[in-house]
């Protein structure tokens, strides 16, 4: 088999946004390996200037359709931090529930529609309808459940409308919450069914490892997606959210003009695997079982396992939400009237997006109009990690032939679940024709 390859994947499919892969290798020596992102830049940080603090969420939610709830939550937290606006415990819990609904939605979408077809060697979920109809139906059912859940709490599945600085525009009724809880309880067997499907094709997950630094939120005693401060596998203790720039350290490497992120190493990884590696011991009981069943343990360094970590997290959010709804119902849902007034300030907000830690930072004048903004997106933080994975992986598999290499690289990109459309605002790409 020849070990000269020339791969040029224009627009990797089944990822959100546009990304290209370029690999040139002649007679076993790799000349070029590049992960490029040619998405049209969208300039959010510039566009929000002059807008009211009340409208920031509406605008930046549109950065990404898949993690719109996360962007909304991060920006709203930033706005609230900047203005010293307090949120009730009830609203805080409801937001976490909203966040979890997006997790289930996004993870199921990624596992079921975008990544799993690879494990089956299919080009999309469509042929699977014929091949594994029950599995597809289960995935669809879970996805619908997650979307209905977002609809209930966020007002819609994409671009939430119930989230405002200070709290929520409205809460679901207690009856609606009870119904939701029932549905969550009923979906546990479905999650197990998905686990079985994943186990049945687990042999197709490439055995590749590259140990790196894993960055995520951390809050004592819990597996957090929403609260806490920043940590990493290389760092004891935590960094305050407002200091996120000392973590992200956007920099321009020698061989490229692209802005990458690094903290304690040349690159770091964010996302499900990073969260898992930082806080696996706090997963819900069922999620722990699932992790054991799929052979995922703390310290895992295989990026292809991100998809598996997402499955574990999906189980965790379902189990945790059932309990949170109990807590909300015990306290009783009380309507809240939200009145906020602006003041000058600058602060950051951070939550874990399904694909990794997300930072939003805003400055406001005293009328509450935005003066400046800075947004640092998980996919942007992962680009360098993807590049470094490529650099280690390609030589290891150079003998497998062009098609297999191409397939594995695409799978790797998809494993990161990149949200390219939202990361382009900070990426710099060299075009190779």
Which residues make up the interface to another protein (CB under 8 A)?
11, 13-17, 38-52, 55, 58-59, 62-66, 68, 109, 113-114, 123-126, 129, 140-141, 143-144, 147, 155-159, 161-162, 164, 169-170, 175, 257, 421-422, 425-426, 428-429, 431
∠ CA(416), CA(418), CA(419), 5° rounding? 155
Rounded least distance, CB 212 to another protein, Å? 26
Lookup: tokens for 351:
């939550």
Q: Which is nearer to another protein, 68 or 385 (CB)?
A: 68
Please count the other Cβ atoms lying within 10 Å of the Cβ belonging to residue 364: 25
From the CB of 286, what's the least distance to another protein, in Å? 25
The minimum distance between CB 60 and another protein, in angstroms, equals 9
Q: Which helix (H) or strand (E) holds 291?
A: helix 285-293
CA dist., res. 361 & res. 45, Å (int): 10
Taking the least distance from each CB to another protein, the nearer of 17 and 206 is 17
DSSP string, 171-213: ---HHHHHHHHHHHHHHHHHHHHHHHHHHHHGGGS-------E
Q: Closest distance between another protein and the C-beta of residue 182, in Å?
A: 17
**Judged by CB, which is closer to another protein: 30, or 404?**
404
Q: Return all residues near 203 (Cβ < 8 A) that are at least 6 apart.
A: none
| Shortest spacing between CB 280 and another protein, in angstroms | 30
Query: For the packed helices 272-279 and 306-331, what is the interaxial angle rounded to 10 degrees?
Result: 70
Spatial separation of the C-alpha atoms in residues 361 and 260, rounded to whole Å: 18
- In angstroms, the CA 213 to CA 232 distance is 7
Tell me how far, at minimum, the Cβ of 31 lies from another protein, in Å. 22
In the numeric block, which tokens belong to residue 425? 């605002």
Q: Which is nearer to another protein, 57 or 242 (CB)?
A: 57
Q: For another protein, which is the closer residue by CB, 123 or 392? A: 123
CA distances (Å), origin 277, targets 223, 310, 349 = 11, 12, 23
113 or 223: whose CB is closer to another protein?
A: 113
Nearer to another protein, 175 or 330 (CB): 175
- Give 387's Cβ-side CA count (13 Å radius): 24
Task: Write down the least CB distance from residue 253 to another protein, Å.
Answer: 14
Q: How far is the CB of 184 from another protein (least distance, A)?
A: 17
User: In this complex, which beta carbon is closest to another protein, that of residue 86 or of residue 428?
Assistant: 428
* Tokens encoding 423: 């990361």
Q: Is the Cβ of residue 169 or residue 204 nearer to another protein in the bound state?
A: 169
Closest CA to 328 of 164, 184, 126, 139: 184
Closest separation in Å from C-beta 41 to another protein: 6
Q: Which is nearer to another protein, 174 or 396 (CB)?
A: 174
Min separation Cβ 101 and another protein, Å:
13
Residue count of the chain: 433
**HEC letters along 306-370:** HHHHHHHHHHHHHHHHHHHHHHHHHHCCCCCCCCCCCCCEEEEEEEEECCEEEEEEEEECCCCEE
Q: Closer to another protein by CB, 41 or 189: give it.
A: 41
Question: 166: how many CB neighbours lie within 10 A of its CB?
Answer: 22
Residue 228: Cβ within 10 Å count: 19
Smallest gap from residue 158 Cβ to another protein (A): 4
């Amino acid at each position: 088999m020849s070990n000269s390859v020339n791969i040029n994947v224009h627009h990797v499919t089944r990822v959100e946004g546009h990304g290209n892969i370029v690999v040139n290798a002649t007679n076993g020596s790799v000349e070029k390996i590049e992960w490029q992102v040619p998405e049209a830049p969208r300039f959010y940080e510039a566009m929000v200037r002059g807008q009211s603090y009340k409208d920031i969420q509406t605008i930046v939610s549109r950065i990404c359709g898949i993690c719109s709830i996360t962007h909304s939550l991060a920006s709203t937290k930033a706005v609230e931090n900047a203005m010293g606006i307090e949120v009730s415990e009830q609203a805080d819990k409801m937001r976490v529930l909203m966040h979890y609904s997006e997790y289930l939605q996004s993870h199921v979408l990624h596992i079921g529609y975008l990544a799993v077809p690879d494990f089956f060697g299919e080009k999309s979920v469509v042929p699977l309808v014929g091949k594994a109809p029950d599995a597809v139906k289960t995935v669809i059912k879970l996805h619908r459940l997650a979307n209905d859940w977002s609809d209930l709490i966020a007002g819609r599945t994409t671009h939430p409308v119930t989230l405002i600085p200070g709290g929520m525009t409205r809460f679901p009724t207690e009856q609606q919450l009870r119904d939701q809880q029932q549905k969550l309880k009923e979906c546990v067997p479905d999650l197990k069914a998905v686990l079985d499907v994943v186990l049945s094709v687990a042999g197709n997950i490439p055995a590749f490892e590259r140990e790196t630094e894993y960055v995520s939120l951390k809050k004592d005693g819990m597996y957090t997606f929403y609260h806490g401060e920043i940590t990493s596998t290389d760092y004891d203790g935590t960094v305050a959210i407002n200091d996120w720039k000392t973590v992200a350290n956007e920099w321009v490497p020698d061989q490229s003009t692209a802005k990458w992120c690094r903290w304690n190493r040349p690159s770091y990884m964010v996302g499900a695997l990073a969260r898992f590696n930082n806080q696996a011991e706090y997963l819900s009981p069922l999620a722990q079982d699932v992790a054991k069943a799929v052979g995922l343990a703390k310290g895992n360094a295989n990026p292809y396992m991100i998809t598996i970590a997402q499955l574990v997290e999906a189980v965790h959010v379902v189990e945790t939400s059932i309990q949170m709804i109990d807590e909300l119902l015990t306290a009783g849902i009380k309507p809240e009237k939200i009145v906020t007034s602006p003041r000058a300030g600058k602060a950051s907000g951070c939550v874990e997006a399904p694909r990794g830690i997300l930072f939003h930072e805003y400055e406001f004048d005293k009328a509450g109009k935005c003066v400046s903004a800075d947004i640092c997106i998980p996919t942007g933080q992962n680009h360098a990690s993807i590049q470094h994975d490529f650099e280690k992986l390609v030589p290891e598999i150079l003998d497998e032939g062009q098609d297999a290499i191409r397939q594995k690289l695409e799978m790797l990109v998809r494993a990161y679940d990149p949200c390219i459309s939202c990361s382009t605002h900070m990426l710099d790409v060299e075009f190779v024709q």
